[in-house]
Amino acid sequence: MKTKDEEWTLIIEPKSNLFDLRLREVWQYKDLLFLFVKRDFKAAYKQTILGPLWHFIQPLFTTIVFLVVFNKIAEIPTDGVPPTLFYMSGIAIWNYFASCLTATSNTFLANAGIFGKVYFPRLILPISIVTSNVIKFGIQFLLLLVVMIYYMLQGNTIHFGISWFVIPFLVLMMALLGLGLGIIISSLTTKYRDFTVLLGFTVQLLMYATPIVYPLSFLINKSYGWLISWNPLTPIVEAFRYALFEQGTFSLGSLLYSLIFIAIIFVIGLITFNRVERSFMDTV
C-alpha cells in the first residue's frame, strides 16, 4: 500500500530545496529564543561584583582613549559635535555591529555540543545573540543619553526630534548585517577554521574604514575617500549621528545602497546557513 506524502509530518532527505528556509519553524520555537536571551543575560555577569555595570565601563574607557588619541593627539575634527558625544555614539553603534558579527560567526563551533544532540532550528541561536546584544546596546545608549543631558545642562544645544524615530531602523540594519555576515562566516568555519582567524583582525581593522573615530566629511574629499563612502556601514553610522545630533554627511541614496547590500548579504547568509546546518556535525 502506498501512503501519500501529505500524511507525513516530516520527510528527511539528503538535499533540500535551496530556498526552503523553514522560517515558520523558527517562529514555532520563539519561546526558546526568549529563553536563550534570558540565559545570556543572566549568566553573563554571574559571580561578578559590578554586574551589568560592566556595560558602562567598557564604552566609557574606550571613549576616554579615543578622546586622547584621536581628538587631542591627532586633532581630528568631530563635525561640530562635542567630541565625547561623537565618540560615544560611534562606539555604541559600532560595538553593537562588532559583537553581533563576532558572536554569531561562532554559532556552529560554540554550540556543537548542543547541536550534536538535539534538533531545533539552528537559526534560533544567532538570532538570540543579536537580540541579547540589543539589550547591551540599549544600556550603552542610555549612558549616551545621560551624558547628552549633562551637556544640555552645561548650556550646549542638544537636538531632540522626530529624527530619533529612525534610530531603531538603523539598529535593525546593523543587526541584519551583523547576523548575515556572521552566519555566512559561521557556515564556512565549520570546515575551515581559517575564517575565525581572519575575522578576528578584520573586525578591528574595519572600524578604521568606518567613520567611528572621524566624520565622513573629514575624508570625503581626500583621494581614498571613496573607499570609506562605499563601505555599507558608513551611511548607517552617519545617519545614526545625524539622527542624534543633526550633524553628518548622509543621503537617502547612500542609505538605500546599504539597505540593498544588507538584503543581499542576509539572503546569502540564510541560504548558506540553511545548507550547512543539516550536516555540519560531520565536519565540525
Partner 1 sequence: MIKNVIEVTAVSKQYRLGLVGTGTLSHDLNRWWHLVRGKEDPYLKIGEENDRTLIGNSEYVWALRDVNLNVKDGEVMGIIGRNGAGKSTLLKLLSRTTAPTTGSIKIKGRVASLLEVGTGFHPELSGRDNIYLNGAILGMTRQEITRKFDEIVEFAGVERYVDTPVKRYSSGMYVRLAFAVAAHLEPEILIVDEVLAVGDAEFQKKCLGKMKDVSTNQGRTVLFVSHNMTAIKNLCNTVAYMKNGKVVMVGETENVINTYLSDGATNDIKQEFASPEEAPGNDAVKLKRIEIVPILDLPHAPITVETPIDVEFEFWNYVDDKPINLSLHLYTMNNECVFNVGSESMYLTKGVHKGVCRIPEHLLNDGSYSISMMIVAERSYALYNFEDVVMFEVHENRAPSGWHGKRPGFVRPKLDFKLV
| Residues contributing to the site for partner 1 (CB under 8 A) | 3, 5, 7-14, 29, 31-32, 34-36, 38-39, 42-43, 46-47, 113-120, 191-192, 278-279, 281-283
Shortest approach of partner 1 to residue 41 CB, angstroms?
11
Shortest approach of partner 1 to residue 99 CB, angstroms?
20
Shortest approach of partner 1 to residue 202 CB, angstroms?
21
Which residues, in sequence order, are CB contacts of 48 under 8 Å at separation 6+?
54
Instruction: Output 84 or 128, the one with its CB closest to partner 1.
Output: 128
Instruction: Output 243 or 270, the one with its CB closest to partner 1.
Output: 270
Chain centre to alpha carbon of residue 104: 9
Instruction: Output 4 or 201, the one with its CB closest to partner 1.
Output: 4
Instruction: Output 189 or 210, the one with its CB closest to partner 1.
Output: 189
Shortest approach of partner 1 to residue 149 CB, angstroms?
35
The torsion of the CA quartet 88, 94, 96, 100, rounded to 10 degrees, works out to -160
d(CA 259, CA 174): 10
State which amino acid sits at residue 180: G
Shortest approach of partner 1 to residue 11 CB, angstroms?
5
Q: Where are the alpha helices (DSSP H) in 154-251?
A: 167-189, 194-208, 216-219, 225-230, 233-245
Instruction: Output 115 or 240, the one with its CB closest to partner 1.
Output: 115
The torsion of the CA quartet 165, 168, 170, 173, rounded to 10 degrees, works out to -150
Which residues, in sequence order, are CB contacts of 180 under 8 Å at separation 6+?
262, 265, 266, 267, 268, 269, 270
